[in-house]
Amino acid sequence: MSRATLLTLAALAVAGHPAGGQTRSEDQFNDAHFHLTNYVQRGTEIRDFLRMMGTRTPRSTLFGIPLQQTWSYENSGDFAPTYYLQTDAPLYYYSFTDAFIAMTYRSLAPEQRARLDPMITGFNPADMYAADHIRRVLRTFPGVFTGIGEFSIHKEFVSSKIPGEVASLTDPALDSILSLAGQVGLVVLIHNDLDVPFAKAGAEPVYLAQMKALLRRHPKTTIIWAHVGLGRVVHPVTASGTAPVTERNPNQGLIVEGILSDPALRHVYFDISWDEVAKYLLATPEVTRRSAAMINRYPDRFLFGSDVVAPRDTAQYFAVFNAYRPLWAALTPEASRKVRKGNYERLFDAARRRVRAWERSQGL
Its pTM stands at: 0.92
- Homologous superfamily of the 3-361 domain (CATH): Metal-dependent hydrolases (3.20.20.140)
pLDDT of residue 242: 55
Q: Is pLDDT above 60 for 11?
A: no
Provide CB contacts within 8 A for 320, sequence distance 6+: 6, 10, 273, 274, 275, 278, 306, 307, 308
Contact present, 113 and 105 (Cβ < 8 Å): yes
**Mean pLDDT within 123-128:** 98
Q: pLDDT tens-digit profile of 244-282?
A: 656 666 689 999 999 999 999 999 999 999 999 999 999
Q: What is the Cα–Cα distance from 6 to 319, expressed in whole angstroms?
A: 6
* Cα-trace Rg, the chain: 20
Structure-model confidence comparison of residues 155 and 7, the more confident one = 155
Q: Is pLDDT above 90 for 6?
A: no
Q: pLDDT tens-digit profile of 27-71?
A: 999 999 999 999 999 999 999 999 999 999 999 999 999 999 999
Q: What is the mean pLDDT of the chain?
A: 92
> At 164, is the secondary structure helix, strand, or coil?
coil
The 3-state DSSP composition of the chain as helix, strand, coil percent (nearest 5) reads 45, 10, 45
